[in-house]
Amino acid sequence: MGALCGKESKSDSFAGTGRRLDSAPPERQTAPLPSNKRVVGGPPRTLGGGPGGPGEEGASSSGAADARRRAAEAAEARAKAAEGRATGKLGSQLQQQKKQTMNETLRKDAEEEARRKEIFVNAETAKQTYQ
């Protein structure tokens, strides 16, 4: 259906002589698979060593608590390090905005809106004067 306006192809895939199914080309050689099997060493371990579960009761729960404590300390250290960083003009502006309280932010927005209204009123007055 799509060849209504197209040229006829000279290199047709089915134009040449074919081959029989049983005369397929030989398979490519691949690298041999390793014959050695991996051996996992050590004594068998039981999963889930938490309280009430199988395994060592005290050691794994205190190890998990210690890991959580260390992760929390690392997260706090990263947060403190990132807090003091101000990258360029935008970073310093962001730090200033974070330091503002809600009342300061509302007061600043109200002042900006009052300035916008004043500019609009002045522009309207100027239009009426020059017309």
From CA 93, how far away is CA 87, in angstroms rounded? 10
Q: What is the predicted pLDDT for the residue at 2?
A: 60
First to last CA, the chain: 68
Does the pLDDT of residue 60 top 80, yes or no?
no
**What confidence tens digit (pLDDT) does each residue in 12-43 have?**
666 667 777 777 777 778 887 777 777 777 77
Burial class for 83, CB neighbours closer than 10 Å (0-12, 13-18, 19+): exposed
Average pLDDT, the chain: 78
Does the pLDDT of residue 54 top 60, yes or no?
no
Say which range, 49-58, 94-103, 109-118, has the weakest mean pLDDT: 49-58
CA torsion through residues 61, 62, 63, 65, sign: positive
Q: What is the predicted pLDDT for the residue at 129?
A: 83
C-alpha distances (whole Å) from 13 to each of 2, 17, 46, 67 are 17, 10, 61, 65
Higher pLDDT, 84 or 51: 84
Residue 20 tokens read as 């029989």
Higher pLDDT, 36 or 70: 70
CA 95-100-102 angle, 5° bins: 140
pLDDT above 70 covers what percent of the chain? 76
